[in-house]
A and B are shown apart, each in its own frame.
Chain A
């Protein structure tokens, strides 16, 4: 047990280091601006006094490393400073919306994970049949389509032509849970379509890879029934790749959410990020990027740790 804890601890440490490096990149990229933030905000026509005042207010008179440490130490406590454009606290703008985004991603994940794994295993078992070919073309098409294409097709049919679900996912506080699920169904379905396709292909590849190994052939040759081969022999070893696939796709879900939120005008963190980029509201951009990157790294870490826990071979690297 001790060596597992040590390995997991090593991975967590590595993730923390990467997150630190990313925070450095995010912070110091803004320093690459021609001039500085104050100049970018006020424009070319700003007077010297205004510039000096804004610089003092934002703490730009201090050297960059000092400001980085200040920014990082307050970011740890979820305080990302104030927005340049509106002057509001960034954390109060982002907080609720981040919850909304997580809700949407979780909604999509709950539907897509079981569906994708079941379909992926099915396709792997029926490989090279006509069903497999059709599934291959369909998943390829779904992966190749931009998210907004799928989103608008769903709007066109489910909202405009058949009038089954609302096209715009506006949320309010006093909605019942059923109402909430109904309102957010189309954005979630868009994400599901993309993620299921990815996950299905990866699950299929993992299972086929596994079914080609000699011990499965041995089991077949000694006359074990096909279902038992899958459940008793293949599945225990398949958990590791499947957990990996799920975690990687959940990480993808977190970023794929940006485009979908814009299509459905969903009040999530992706919308905030896109607006902030257009307005060049740097504190908000930095905060959103840090949150997205942290979530992304977290899921990748989860994939790593899950693989270590389910596959004893990884615990003894050669």
Chain B
């Protein structure tokens, strides 16, 4: 029995006794089940597994605390209306917002945060981490940490631009189809059907093979692939709005299609569209990451998470986890966005029930 094992268990036991004494039932169950799980795993896997369990639980607790304080900070900063909404946010959503916020800061201030340039070669290839390089060097001797920071800007920025373009095209066409109706509606619907029946990754590969892989091509290709999904949703949502009396009134007033879309339909179909934006962003982000993992995304020397994984994958066969960090960064952002979207969907559906 090492000091770690004894102190870990005593901490857990003291915590659960305190929770039981103060009648905090949920905390007690949480701590007690954690004790049980560590007990079983500790017997099976020895103290190494126990350290893993403890680290995992600690990280989870830390994430919970960070998201709690982030939510409180947001509530304090926001106006009264927004603060009321934020109070209903579950911890997962707060965690998601915190992650998105962190990524945004990292992306915007990348040149000030990163110690070296993204293409700057500073040491030997695959040099291990030291006090200069937080995560060691990559296959050309560039600082991994700096490339990770710049990658936030490049990868997320690319996905965000593509999603915006897809939304612009899809939502625009959807609302136009809903207001115009007739053959335009039919044609766009069938067109969207055809594009959606080609698997997205395959379609992206086809377009990249023809037009070569450069930033604008990737953005346009991804936007074309995902615009039909946005079109479908917008068409459905706007279709419900178009039949309302106030649209009829606006038409009788003699308003044009542009006015109808901008001032009447768009504001009334905003909530589901915002949630859809988050979901689409996740899909686009994963697709772009996949493409750059295949070496067909953003071209070197620009730092990009997908290609960073591929370039340093050899390190994995030596048991080194550094190549997994960019991949984990991709997963973390996607999970975070999903958490926030979940909350938004729940909120918009909950409001309908009242």
Are A148 and B296 touching (Cβ within 8 A)?
Answer: no
Are A277 and B208 touching (Cβ within 8 A)?
Answer: yes
Picked from A145, A277, A282, the residue with its CB within 8 Å of the CB of B296 is A277
Are A293 and B295 touching (Cβ within 8 A)?
Answer: no
Asked if A75 is at the interface of the complex by the 8 Å CB criterion, the answer is no
Picked from B201, B295, B313, the residue with its CB within 8 Å of the CB of A278 is B295
Query: Which B-chain residue is minimally distant from A136 (CB atoms)?
Result: B342
Are B324 and A22 touching (Cβ within 8 A)?
Answer: no
Tell me whether A160 and B317 are in contact in the complex, defined as CB-CB below 8 angstroms, given that A18-B193, A293-B202 are known contacts.
yes
Question: In the complex, A118→B248 CA distance in Å?
Answer: 50
For residues 20 through 50 of chain A, which have their beta carbon under 8 Å from a beta carbon of chain B? 21-22, 25-26, 29-30, 32-33
Interface of A is mostly: helix
Are B327 and A292 touching (Cβ within 8 A)?
Answer: no
Question: In the complex, A22→B335 CA distance in Å?
Answer: 33
Closest Cβ of chain B to A243, distance in Å, is 19
Q: Return chain B residues, CB-CB under 8 Å to A21.
A: 194
Are A255 and B197 touching (Cβ within 8 A)?
Answer: no
**Interface with B: A151-159, A202-210, A219-227, which one?**
A151-159
For residues 284 through 330 of chain B, which have their beta carbon under 8 Å from a beta carbon of chain A? 286, 289-290, 293-296, 306, 309-310, 313, 316-319, 321, 323-324, 327-328, 330
Closest Cβ of chain A to B61, distance in Å, is 15
Question: In the complex, A147→B206 CA distance in Å?
Answer: 20
Asked if A161 is at the interface of the complex by the 8 Å CB criterion, the answer is yes
Are A156 and B324 touching (Cβ within 8 A)?
Answer: yes
Q: Which of A153, A161, A276 has the most CB atoms of chain B within a 10 A radius of its CB?
A: A153
Asked if B199 is at the interface of the complex by the 8 Å CB criterion, the answer is yes
Asked if A4 is at the interface of the complex by the 8 Å CB criterion, the answer is no
Question: In the complex, A159→B328 CA distance in Å?
Answer: 19
Are A148 and B309 touching (Cβ within 8 A)?
Answer: yes
Closest Cβ of chain B to A33, distance in Å, is 6
Are A152 and B202 touching (Cβ within 8 A)?
Answer: no
Q: Which of B210, B324, B338 has the most CB atoms of chain A within a 10 A radius of its CB?
A: B210
Are B328 and A29 touching (Cβ within 8 A)?
Answer: no
Q: Return chain B residues, CB-CB under 8 Å to A18.
A: 193-194, 197
Are B209 and A282 touching (Cβ within 8 A)?
Answer: yes
Asked if A259 is at the interface of the complex by the 8 Å CB criterion, the answer is yes
Are A152 and B323 touching (Cβ within 8 A)?
Answer: yes
For residues 134 through 157 of chain A, which have their beta carbon under 8 Å from a beta carbon of chain B? 137, 140-141, 143-149, 152-153, 155-156
Q: Return chain A residues, CB-CB under 8 Å to B209.
A: 276-277, 280, 282, 285
Contacts beyond the supplied A21-B194, A26-B206: 10 A-B pairs with Cβ under 8 Å: A145-B334, A148-B310, A152-B323, A161-B319, A262-B294, A273-B202, A273-B205, A274-B205, A277-B205, A293-B202
Q: Interface of A with B (CB < 8 Å)?
A: 18, 21-22, 25-26, 29-30, 32-33, 137, 140-141, 143-149, 152-153, 155-156, 159-161, 167, 251, 254-255, 258-259, 262, 273-274, 276-278, 280, 282, 285, 288-289, 292-293, 296-297, 300
Shortest 7 CB-CB contacts between residues of A and residues of B: A144-B334, A149-B327, A255-B199, A145-B331, A277-B209, A144-B335, A292-B202
